[in-house]
Each structure stands twice: as C-alpha cells, then as structure tokens.
Amino acid sequence: MTNTINELPTSPEPDKPGIKELLTQLQTAIEADKNLDEEDKAEALEQVKALAEAGKNPKEGAMQKTAKTAMKILKGTISSLPSAATLVEASGKLLPLISGFLGLG
C-alpha cells in the first residue's frame, strides 16, 4: 500500500498537505491505533489503498465510486472505536480533506 501512496504526486504547496500526505497520515494513524484488532486494521488499510488508487485518477466515475465505498467502510470501522482513540481524532480531520481532494465533498 505504501507503494500505491508513493505513486501519488507530492503536494505543490509545502505548507498544505496534498492527497499523498493526507493518506500517509491516515495510514500511520490506523497502524498506530491500539483499539483496532488486526482484522479491522487490515481492512482499514485496504480502504486507504483504494483511496490512493482513486487519487491517481479522481475524476473517473469508477474511481469515484471506489472512493465513496472506501470512505463509508472507513467511517464505519472508525465509528466503532472509543471517541478518545487516536484514529477517531485523526480521521475527523483527514477524511473531510481526502473527500475534498477526490471530489466527493
């Protein structure tokens, strides 16, 4: 999955994260969260990979559908976590920004 994210372009604005940086932050938050069991963690990381794939061609209809599905699955996974979980905090900031980059907002 890291390879897929690394294929995305780096943000043109150094002080403003782009899709690559946002997905990297989300990946790190998922991997670090102690409240997710291994199965949920693997599923969440698969959805980050799907978002990275969509980020390569966000205007394509099939990619939009993939991204929407991935966002729903991620939100569902995260909603089962305690509100103080690191991932809940991170996703609250990151998911809206990622949606915006992918034109889902």
Q: How far apart are CA 83 and CA 61, in angstroms?
A: 34
Structural domain includes residue 84: yes
Percent of the chain with pLDDT over 90: 80
Number of domains the chain contains: 1
Structural domain includes residue 60: yes
Structural domain includes residue 23: no
Phi first, then psi: what are they for 82, rounded to 5°?
A: -60, 145
Mean pLDDT of 36-51: 96
Q: Which pTM was predicted?
A: 0.91
Structural domain includes residue 32: no
Which tens digit of pLDDT belongs to each residue from 6-20? 999 998 888 899 999
Query: What domain range includes position 99?
Result: 37-105
- Predicted confidence at residue 83, as pLDDT, reads 87
Which tens digit of pLDDT belongs to each residue from 18-41? 999 999 999 999 999 999 999 999
